[in-house]
Structure 1
Amino acid sequence: MHKYLLALLLLSATAATAQNVEFSKDQFGSDKEGLKTAQKEIKAGDEFYDLDPPRYEQALPHYLAAQKFNPNNAQLNLKIGDCYLHSGFKPRALEYLQKAYQLNPDVDPRIHYLLGRGLHLNAKWDEAIAEYKRATPAAGAKNTAGFSQDIQKKIRECENGRKLAAKPSRVFIDNAGPGVNSAFADYGPVITADESVILFTSRRDNSMGGQKDPETGGFFEDVYQSTRTGKGEWSAARNLGEPVNTEGHDATVGLAPDGQRLLVYLEENGGDLNEANLRGAQWRKPQKLGSRINSKAHESSAAYTPDGRSLYFVTDKEGGIGGRDIYRIEIEGRGPAVNLGSTINTQYGEEGVFLHPDGKTMYFSSEGHNSMGGYDIFKSVFQNGKWSPPENLGWPINTPDDDVFFVISASGRHGYYSSFRDDGLGSKDIYQITFLGPEKPPLLSQEDQLLASRVQPVKETLLAPPVAIASAQVTILKGVVTDEASKQPTEATIDVIDNSLNQVIASFQSNAQSGRYLVSLPSGINYGIVVRKDGYLFHSENFDLPAGAAYSEVVKDIALKKLDVGVKVVLNNIFFDFDKATLRKESTGELERLQKLLTETPALRLEISGHTDNVGKAEYNKDLSQRRAKAVVEYLVGKGIDKGRLTFAGYGDAQPVAPNTTKAGRQLNRRTEFKVTGK
């Protein structure tokens, strides 16, 4: 503070000697053409600046042109600073505001408030606080109480910023590169869970209509897409074209983890959310999400839950806690949207909601909580039936300016958002954040001098405790579904089942053209994965993910088999008690699917077989496998299936499908399967 006061004294001394130069013939009589041009630019700028509301971005280039002719006019420097405060490059305002004050300390009644904003946006926390305290409401202002509240809030933001900047987050923040970014504004990134695809909003000159927004002067928004190349870079972004993009504004809002469903924003009815579905390589026309989500108010952002059945969205409709609030709603349900409550929503605005594929970690932006200025990005975790107090992601991810529309990969390793930075390729660019985790101290760096009085002190080496790195508790299962015979990709339904409850908790489709699929599996559930398509035998997989299981990515290509004699299918979701032939309840869903197959195909005959690895005696393994196969047949017969259609056999370790030399191989060999013996 002493340094600031000294700087203020020096500033005052400079102001006393600095001379304000007017745009007049008395000052520039020798350069009539230059003066005339500068005055013309000021007049053009004023036409935008004096509008209600002002169009700062359109006024700014005119003022900058005039400032080149005369850099020492207090009023012009103040207007330039004010325009920058309402632009993407807000920190640039400070030098012009300081110069305006130097040239004329009484240049404007708002000068101390504006200086406070300029210092605040440059993270000069203490100087900003001092200026905010000097700020006074304009003469005759009616809402002095509101002005005072605004000042107090901004002082709190500076205090928050000072604390957060003192302990910066360990991250790298890098420009996403020329594949994604352009010379125009690029923002609103949304990604697939595995970071293979990114979609975003851009105001490029190759937009669908090719027209400019008369209010901002920029091109209309369109949605663009880029894919990750083999080298880890982003391919050149392409315009999605019709029917997603129109001649008006079209903006990204949210993307399902598998990239098959896209939420877009359209300027209709005050601002509505729409959904487009990907069929093969073509996006379908976006459809409105309905009146349970969209209202006459402004719905601005949204995110799917991992199962795709619910939606978190932001709206400023009546009845909320603050300006904009976050709600949750079941998409196919009938109930109303539910406000997330005061733990998440504040009296200020919330925006840019995103739900991690683990299904329990939410990221969003807020002007409240302990923001350091404008919107900051926060994280909250759903635990024990409620959301945890939001945690600020910290400096330098968050800045004194607005930080919104943040998304993060399933691994938790990379985040993406847009920002105005000096290393940008144009206007606003998309940046990748790499999270490094907490710093890990050397294991042998701590020594306890037990007997310091000795010439050769005895030392005890203390091992520093390991630093845990937070890992996303989710497994990403992805691959390609094909026809086994033709090897061609095919569209199929992927059901995700909670085996303990025997409930389908989510259903997805593989892409009709590529056959690609991606499923997000939060930890803590024994999952059955069933891939089905009319005319084919179902394919099942099992993923038993204990609570707290760390992030993993599993690639599993699936070849569906048609119903032909001799075809074998492994039943991966049939489970037995250890060393017994007793079926566990988690097997119910798989057994019911097998029962349904037999019921729907009356002529179908099957052999149920049991198999083991080569651990233990061969005779014992064969007997155990036969008893297990028999247990499956007895279950089916008990459900009304004709016993004559079923046979059972136990092969022990005689028919391995993988080497028994590895744990993974032995697990594959321990299986129950069926073979079509007639149809």
Structure 2
Amino acid sequence: MKKSTIFFLVILMVNVSFAQKKYSIKSRRAIHFYEEAGQYYRNRDNQKTLESLSKALEVNDKFIEAYLFQADVYYTLKDSKAEIEAYQKAIAIDGSYFPRVHFNLGNAYLKQGEYQKAKDKFQDFLSFSKISSRNKAKAQKRIKNCDFAMNMIANPVDFKPINIGDAINTKYDEYWPSLTADEEVLVFTRLSPAEKSTQVKLELQEDFWISLKEEEAWRPAKGLSEIINTTSNEGAQSITADGRFMYFTACGRKDGLGRCDLYYSVREGDRWSKPRNLGPTINSAAWEAQPSISADGRVLYFVSNRKSGKGKMDIWRSELMENLADGRQRWSKPENMNFNTANNEMSPFIHASNQYLVIASDGLPGMGSYDLFKLMQQEDGKWSEPENLGYPINTHGEELGLVINAKSDKAYFASNRLEGKGKDIFVFDLPKEHQPPMVSWLKGKIYDVDTKENLYASLQLIDLSSKDTLGRIHSDRVNGKYLVCLPAGKEYLFAAESEGYLYYSDHFSLLENQEKNQPQELNIGLQKLVTGSEIVLRNVFFDTDSWEILPKSESELSILYKLMNQNQDLIVEISGHTDNTGSEEHNLSLSENRAKAVCDYLIAKGIEKDRLLYKGFGSSKAIANNNTEEGKALNRRTEFRVVKD
């Protein structure tokens, strides 16, 4: 929607000597004020530019160039109503004097959401014979956008935004909300008066703020951390599902590679670490901003205008390769996303399911400026075509920055829809047709089962069907807390490991209806790796009345193998247990064969035979009531006990 043609026309007019000029009028006095306006405009004094143009039009109200110049200044000032009025007056004098005026007026109507008027003006522009094929294509595209927008308005989606309250929102601008999966922590950006002096004097400054939820209400927000908030601008942050890692944009820092770079910080307890630049793989001499980190911190989406992109601003994707010992991170070479257009794609948001992406674009059919679009990941790993989220989620204004909770039923965004409040953060119920796959979560803390001291542990979530590791996180070093997301529709192995301890494993099946998948709290006590310590291998599976190990058991057995391999003096006993179905003799034989099958697996992997014992107990050591199917399932188990550490 740039008006470079008008701008250069104006500059040309005010730079050529009076004798060479050919204006639509002959009044020397009006032309004098017009040229005076040109001088002010070159000095970027818009107010005096408009004053001189008004004087020119007072002398001669048929001065068409002055109206065009006015419109260009109002465009710069983002005053669309005044811009429209100036264009209308120019067209009333002579609609063919400068055909491009019809195209520009159509753009101005678009910014006001007046789609039929905009469409009419683009069609007027196309009625002129001497227009370039490029401009003709632009006008035709704008007409399609107008039709698209009018159809969206005729078929609105359910949208009832609610201001999230004065604990978060102030008279200043609040935007870029980010949430933990349990929706108990909200981090956002606030633009407020700068309190400290800086090398570049800032009247307003972007900083991070945080609020905690207590009894379903947000507590008054506080500045996030003086280690992260500086006298420069920090903004557009994204936090992992557990709230422990934050990735953000910072501009003008000494360690920056470009004008704005991406950084990250880690929270341990209530303290945030000193931010680290993500380095030259992610950052460049270009502009990098607006990160969105996946729930487990393994995939990063961000925006850059680097030259190797497809458009002006593109969305890129990178995977975490390694957390280095010195605290740095090693990321893969960023991949340019296939949905980027020749225009701008910005503000990516990856949902906790890792299967649903939200972007803002001004290069796709929409309501006029930036619209929000959703994309779904397909079975082949590619992303679907972007789908507009609809009206009135999208309007003729700019929609940037929307996040969706893990449960997938609510979305948070920033808007200036309340007069006098600036940008505020709102929440709304997301229409069902736009909801991502639901994600549950598991949280708690890791501790020593004997001393009750909090532990730092490695936790992983594995898809038992594909054997893919879907999440790999660590508990908090200070308080032992963890949170891991559980996308619906899968069976998972969940394991916790800490050096010097026997690992813990659990099994979660989320194959049922999504509505039944509820978040859970699970505090895990780990046993020291000493003689007598034992665990249940909850992810070792056999067919009914069989001792053949099922393929989905491999993930658990691989963890057991690693433990044995890392502790070469360890001698263990594998025991098998059944429910009370069948005869005692049969159950003893079945349970012993199952225990032996696990030992045989480990021996085949390279564990010495004399380090492994096995025994079957049949149904003699029940841990649950055999009168229920749930109880029987618990009794059918394989256990692991340390005989010698």
Range class of TM-score, shorter chain: 0.7 to 0.9
| Structure 1 counterpart of 2:218 | 234
TM-align CA RMSD: 4.2
- Residue of structure 1 in register with 2:355 after alignment: 360
Residue 209, structure 1, aligned to residue 196, structure 2: yes
Distance between the aligned counterparts of 1:488 and 1:196, measured in 2?
24
User: Aligned equivalents of 2:574 and 2:633: distance in 1?
Assistant: 19
- 1:515-554 matches, within 5 Å, as 515-522=480-487, 526-545=491-510, 552-554=518-520
- With the length of structure 2 as denominator, give the TM-score of the two structures: 0.77
How does 1:59-78 map onto structure 2 within 5 Å?
none
Alpha-carbon shift at residue 83 of structure 1 (Å):
9.1
Match among 263, 280, 294 for residue 291 of structure 1: 280
Deviation at 1:605, TM superposition (A): 3.7
Give the equivalent residue in structure 2 for 1:391. Answer: 387
Higher mean C-alpha deviation, range 154-163 or range 102-111:
102-111
Q: 1:596 to 1:430 in 2, by over 3 A?
A: same
SS at match of 2:177: strand
2:182 is aligned to: 194
- CA distance, structure 2, for counterparts of residue 345 and residue 375 of structure 1: 14
1:263 counterpart = 2:247 = yes
Instruction: Give the share of equivalent positions with the same residue, in percent.
Output: 33
- 1:312 paired with 2:301, answer yes
CA contact (8 A) 2:241 2:296 kept: no
Distance in 1 of aligned mates of 2:405 and 2:336: 26
Q: What residue is the counterpart of 2:474 in the other structure?
A: 509
State the 1:415 CA deviation.
Answer: 1.3
- The TM-score normalised by the length of structure 1 is 0.74
Q: 2:430 aligns with which of 428, 435, 449?
A: 435
Deviations 1:23-68 (A, max 9, x none): xxxxxxxxxxxxxxxxxxxxxxx99x95776789xx99x9xxxxxx
Structure 2: which amino acid aligns with 1:484?
V
1:378 CA drift (Å): 0.5
Q: Which shifted more, 77-86 or 503-512?
A: 77-86
Alignment of 1:215-614 (within 5 A): 218-231=203-216, 233-267=217-251, 268=256, 269-332=258-321, 336-341=333-338, 344-383=339-378, 384-422=380-418, 426-437=421-432, 472-500=437-465, 504=469, 506-522=471-487, 526-545=491-510, 552-614=518-580
| 2-structure distance, mates of 1:657, 1:356 | 39
Does structure 1 residue 173 correspond to structure 2 residue 161? yes
Alpha-carbon deviation of 1:397? 0.8
Deviation of 1:146 after TM superposition, in Å, equals: 7.4
Deviation at 1:484, TM superposition (A): 1.6
* Alpha-carbon distance in structure 1 between the residues aligned to 2:195 and 2:576: 60
Q: Are the structure 2 counterparts of residues 640 and 250 from structure 1 closer, same or farther at C-alpha, using a change threshold of 3 Å?
A: closer
- Which amino acid in structure 2 is aligned with residue 568 of structure 1? E
CA contact (8 A) 2:353 2:406 kept: yes
Question: Within 2, Cα distance between the matches of 1:656 and 1:86?
Answer: 78
CA-CA distance at 1:178 after TM superposition: 1.6
Residue 339 of structure 1: how far off its partner (Å): 1.7
Measured in 2, the distance between the counterparts of 1:185 and 1:78 equals 34
**Alpha-carbon deviation of 1:401?**
1.0
1:657 alignment partner, one of 623, 627, 642: 623
Find the aligned partners of 1:160 and 1:54 in 2 and give their Cα distance.
38
Structure 2 residue aligned with 1:124: 114
Counterpart-to-counterpart distance in 1, 2:497 and 2:356:
31
1:305, distance to aligned residue in structure 2 (A): 3.6
Cα gap change, 1:497/1:204 in structure 2, threshold over 3 Å: closer, same or farther? same
Shift in alpha-carbon separation, 1:309–1:55, aligned structure 2, 3 A: farther
- Compute the displacement of 1:367 (Å): 0.4
Partner secondary structure for residue 301 of structure 1: strand
2:62 is matched with which residue? none
Shift of 1:275: 1.6
CA contact 1:190–1:407 (8 Å) conserved in 2: yes
Residues 1:655 and 1:94: Cα distance change in structure 2 (over 3 Å): farther
- For 1:218 and 1:155, the matched residues in 2 are separated by 41
Who is 2:591 aligned against? Answer: 625
Distance in 1 of aligned mates of 2:72 and 2:213: 40
Aligned to 2:17: none
Instruction: Provide the C-alpha distance between the structure 1 equivalents of 2:631 and 2:263, rounded to a whole number of angstroms.
Output: 47
Unmatched runs of 5 consecutive residues or more in structure 1: 1-45, 63-76, 137-142, 439-468
Q: Aligned-pair distance for 1:366?
A: 0.5
1:672 Cα deviation after fit:
1.3
Spell out, residue by residue over 1:174-199, the C-alpha distance to the aligned partner (whole angstroms, 9 max, x if none).
11222221110111112223322221
Residues 609, 86 of structure 1: alpha-carbon distance in 2 compared, 3 angstrom cutoff: farther
SS of equivalent to 1:416: strand
Distance 1:529 1:471, change over 3 A: same
CA distance in 2, matches of 1:548, 1:271: 44
User: Contact conserved, 1:660 with 1:666, CA < 8 A, in 2?
Assistant: yes
Q: Distance in 2 between matches of 1:155 and 1:115?
A: 13
Distance in 1, Cα, partners of 2:413 & 2:390: 14
Question: Are 1:670 and 2:632 matched, yes or no?
Answer: no
Relative to structure 1, is the Cα distance of residues 596 and 340 closer, same or farther in structure 2, using a 3 angstrom cutoff?
Answer: closer
The SS at the match of 1:171 is coil
Q: Is the 8 A contact 1:264 1:286 kept in 2?
A: no
1:635 to 601, 620, 633: 601
Deviations 1:283-303 (A, max 9, x none): 112212222221211112222
User: Would the aligned equivalents of 1:537 and 1:561 in 2 still touch at CA under 8 Å?
Assistant: yes
Letter in 2 for 1:317: R
Distance between the aligned counterparts of 2:456 and 2:74, measured in 1? 52
AA aligned to 1:157 is N
Structure-1 residue corresponding to 2:29: none
Q: Sort the Cα spacing of 1:103 and 1:334 in 2 relative to 1 into closer, same or farther, 3 A.
A: closer
SS at match of 1:597: helix
Counterpart of 1:454?
none
Equivalent position amino acid for 2:572 in 1: L
> Quick one: structure 1 residues 672 and 273, their matched pair in 2 at CA, closer, same or farther if it must change by over 3 Å?
same
Give, in whole Å, the separation in 1 of the partners of 2:227 and 2:46. Answer: 32
CA contact (8 A) 1:171 1:433 kept: yes
Question: Are 1:112 and 1:134, in contact at CA under 8 Å, matched by a contact in 2?
Answer: yes
For residues 634 and 74 of structure 2, the distance between their equivalents in structure 1, rounded to whole angstroms, comes to: 64
> In 1, Cα distance between the equivalents of 2:614 and 2:592?
7
Contact 2:356–2:436, Cα closer than 8 Å, also in 1: no
- Aligned residue type for 2:473: F
Q: What letter is aligned with 2:525?
A: A
Structure 1 residue 566 displacement after superposition: 3.3
Structure 1 residues 160 and 196, CA gap change in structure 2 (3 angstroms): same
Does the 8 A contact of 2:460 with 2:473 survive in 1? yes
Counterpart-to-counterpart distance in 1, 2:302 and 2:143:
30
Change (3 A) 1:113 1:202: farther
Structure-1 separation of matches of 2:636 and 2:237:
46
Measured against aligned partners, the alpha-carbon deviations of 1:303-356 in whole angstroms (never above 9, x if no partner) come to: 234453332222111132221112222333776322222xx1112110011112
Contact 2:572 2:642 in 1 (8 A): yes
Tell me if structure 2 keeps the 8 A contact 1:609–1:648.
yes
Instruction: Report 1:1-40 matches (<5 A).
Output: none
Counterpart-to-counterpart distance in 2, 1:613 and 1:193:
38
Following the alignment from structure 2 to structure 1, what is the Cα–Cα distance between the partners of residues 46 and 224?
A: 30
